[in-house]
Each structure stands twice: as C-alpha cells, then as structure tokens.
Structure 1
C-alpha cells in the first residue's frame, strides 16, 4: 500500500511548511509538501484541535545511520522512560526507528525497513533521501472492528499480529497504525493519538474503498 496524499490540519500553515522545508529538507510548493511519492497538503486547522498526530517517513535501511546523524543536528530525539532513543524491531517488522517532535506536537518518526530497496547515495545524508510517507496513526475506540473493515473493504492485512489496542495495517511501503484512542504514543508515552481532520488517499488497496470515523474525525479513500 502507498499513502499518496494526506490532508493535514495545522495551526500555522506557513510555519509548518517552513519546518518541512528547512528542518527536514523537503520540497515545498505553497502548502504542499512532497516526500517521495507522497504529498502532504497543509490546511488551516481552524477550530479543530491539533496535537497527537503520528507520521513516519521511510528511509533506505542502509542509510539509516547517516539519517540519525542528520536528524540529531536538526531535532532532539524522543526517548522512552529508560532513556533509549533508537529502536530495532525484528520478527514481522525488520525495522529500525527514531522518533522526534514536529510542529503542533506531532509525533514524527524515521523508519528504515530491511525489506525495502537500499539507497543509491553515500556520504552525508540529505532529506531528499526520504522515500515516502510511511505511516499515519488512526485512533479508534474499536481497533478490532476497524481492522476488520480495513481487511474487508480495503484488502489490507496486519503487518504484525494485531491486538485490541494496536493493529498496523498495510505493508512496508505504507501502514495505517490503528491504535486505541486511549493508548498514548510510543516512545514517550505522553501524547494521546489524534487524527482530527486527516484525509488520506491510498494506492494499492481495493478500488472504490472509502471509510470515515466521524467520532475521531478522519477519512480514507482509495486512489
């Protein structure tokens, strides 16, 4: 699955655009941020609450060490309660991650996945090496029910065994991180998940699929 487009409400469109351009070195045109095959369109949040949004970006796994050094120069990394700021997952994930805080308190993540193609560059890392928007967090009060809908309507499967609190739906190229609305985001365990006003357009899913959660305020549709 690929996350082609994300409409993201923010408190300050211009400031958030500058963050993506200047801190993460992404091309920005107006209110549109281009990250590989993904486009994030920044829209005014208005009365919508901000904070608690989770986004992850794919990085070629062989370039991850360079990416960590690049990120440390731009943003402090989030740590878990034990003070750890670098995380490796084996089993179904085969990944390595670091987390950092973005505008409006977004919980952002760089993730390298071993099953994806390696990079074509060497030397110092640059933000243009981010290949896509890799994950978007979707809170729900019924994780199992939402997982079932995503399986039936979108043809998505869980990347790792789901639980009633957590279900990563999709594959290495793109994941919907379905979480219990009362489960705080890893690694700091401070922020409750939110996706108010988020609208996603997905490729590699069942044609014509669409889904919205009025209570949580997000929408999905097939490309």
Structure 2
C-alpha cells in the first residue's frame, strides 16, 4: 500500500510549516492562508488549520541501512524521545529500527528503517532519504469491527496479528495503525484520540470510505498514470 497524500489538521500552522520545510528540508509544494503541503518522498503531506489541539502519530520510511545516519542528521534539529533511556528501538517481529520525536504541534513522528525492504542507499543522510509516509495512526472505538469494515471496502490485508487494542492494515510501504481510543501512544504519555484525517492511497479500483472523522480514498493506479 502506498500513501499518495496524507492531510492532517493543526492549530500551529506556521510553526509546523517551518518545521517540515525549514528544519527537515522537505520541498514546499503549496501554501495558502489556511494550509500548506510538502513533498515527503513519494507522499504529499499536507496540513490544514484546525480547531483545538489535534495531534497524530505517523511514520516516515527511511532507507533500511540509515537509522544511525538519521540519528546524526536529526541531532540539533529535534530532541529524540526515549523509552527506558534508549532513543533507538528495535521491533524484532517487524524487523525494523525506529526513532521518535515531536513536531511543534505535538505530533508523534517516527523515522523507521524496515530491514525487509530493498531500499538501501549509500552516503550521508539527507532529507531525500525521507522516502514516504508509511504509517498513520487511526484511533477508533472498536479495532476489530473497524478491521472488518475497512477490509470490506479497501481490501487491505492485516499485516500482523490484530488485538482489540492494536492492528496494522496494509504493508511495509504503507500501514493504517488502528488503535483503541484512549490507548497510550508508544514513546509518549498521551492517550490516542480521533482527529480529522484524509488519506489517499494507490489501489486496484477507485473507492472511498469514511471511518469516524477519517476520509480514506483509493485511486486506481491506471487513473494516476493518466493524471
């Protein structure tokens, strides 16, 4: 599953734009009074002005061999989050290493090196090594029920064994991370809540669905090539 576009809300639009365009060096694609978009590898990442203090968890894939280089590159740009004193986390069942940090809006951002993917790159880490948005968190009332509804419409596989609290749908290039509302986000002390979200993914047919405040659209690959 490939995420073409991910659109989130924020109450700190200017600060968030400065972070992703300035601090992380992602190319600015669009800027309007109440929104902006940057290019995060294969994904268009956009932010729209919203009310309250919405926050999300999402992950960027980076080359599978560059997690240490990413740590060096982020030094001075962000403060990495820690789990029991460690900033680098290894997930054996996912065969992946991750690091986490917060953006100015409090979004929990992850860089993840997935060692099953053949995306190795040489050289120092740069913003060009931010390959795509590969995860987006979706807090829901009922994880198992949401799996059934999303699979019916979107025909996405469950990537790892689901539980009532957590389930990843999709694949290593793109995952919807379903979590139970109120569950504490990993690497934080914040409970998961649902905020408006729009995601466009590549698929085999044009279809869309709504889950809570989430709008998910699938675009057929042939229609993208004609766009």
* Common fold: TM-score over 0.5: yes
Q: 2:76 aligns with which of 70, 73, 88?
A: 73
Q: Which residue of 2 aligns with 1:44?
A: 49
Task: Please report how far the alpha carbon of residue 12 of structure 1 lies from its aligned counterpart in structure 2 after TM superposition.
Answer: 2.8
Q: Which has the higher contact order (CA 8 A, sep 6+)?
A: 1
Following the alignment from structure 1 to structure 2, what is the Cα–Cα distance between the partners of residues 195 and 132? 23
Task: Please report how far the alpha carbon of residue 194 of structure 1 lies from its aligned counterpart in structure 2 after TM superposition.
Answer: 3.3
| Deviation by residue 1:12-64 (Cα, 9 ceiling, x = unmatched) | 3222111001221111132111011100122111x3x3343001000001112
Counterpart of 2:151 in 1: which secondary structure? Answer: helix
Task: Please report how far the alpha carbon of residue 157 of structure 1 lies from its aligned counterpart in structure 2 after TM superposition.
Answer: 1.3
CA contact (8 A) 1:159 1:171 kept: yes
CA contact (8 A) 1:182 1:192 kept: yes
Following the alignment from structure 2 to structure 1, what is the Cα–Cα distance between the partners of residues 153 and 88? 35
Q: Which residue of 2 aligns with 1:128?
A: 128
Following the alignment from structure 2 to structure 1, what is the Cα–Cα distance between the partners of residues 82 and 67? 18
Where structure 1 has 5 or more consecutive residues not aligned to the other structure, the ranges are none
Following the alignment from structure 2 to structure 1, what is the Cα–Cα distance between the partners of residues 177 and 192? 10
Where structure 2 has 5 or more consecutive residues not aligned to the other structure, the ranges are 220-227
Aligned residue pairs total 214
Task: Please report how far the alpha carbon of residue 170 of structure 1 lies from its aligned counterpart in structure 2 after TM superposition.
Answer: 0.7
Runs of 4+ in 1 over 4 A off after TM superposition: none
Q: Which residue of 1 aligns with 2:198?
A: 199
Q: Which residue of 1 aligns with 2:56?
A: 53
Superposition pairs of residues 92-111 of structure 1, within 5 angstroms: 93-111=94-112
- 2:215 aligned with 1:219: yes
Superposition pairs of residues 156-171 of structure 1, within 5 angstroms: 156-171=156-171
CA contact (8 A) 2:3 2:133 kept: yes
Counterpart of 2:81 in 1: which secondary structure? Answer: coil
Following the alignment from structure 2 to structure 1, what is the Cα–Cα distance between the partners of residues 115 and 4? 22
Following the alignment from structure 1 to structure 2, what is the Cα–Cα distance between the partners of residues 22 and 73? 13
CA contact (8 A) 2:55 2:195 kept: no
Q: 1:208 aligns with which of 203, 206, 209?
A: 206
CA contact (8 A) 2:158 2:169 kept: yes
| Deviation by residue 1:162-182 (Cα, 9 ceiling, x = unmatched) | 100000111010000000011
Task: Please report how far the alpha carbon of residue 210 of structure 1 lies from its aligned counterpart in structure 2 after TM superposition.
Answer: 2.1
The structure with more strand, counted as a fraction of residues: 2
TM-score (norm 2): 0.89
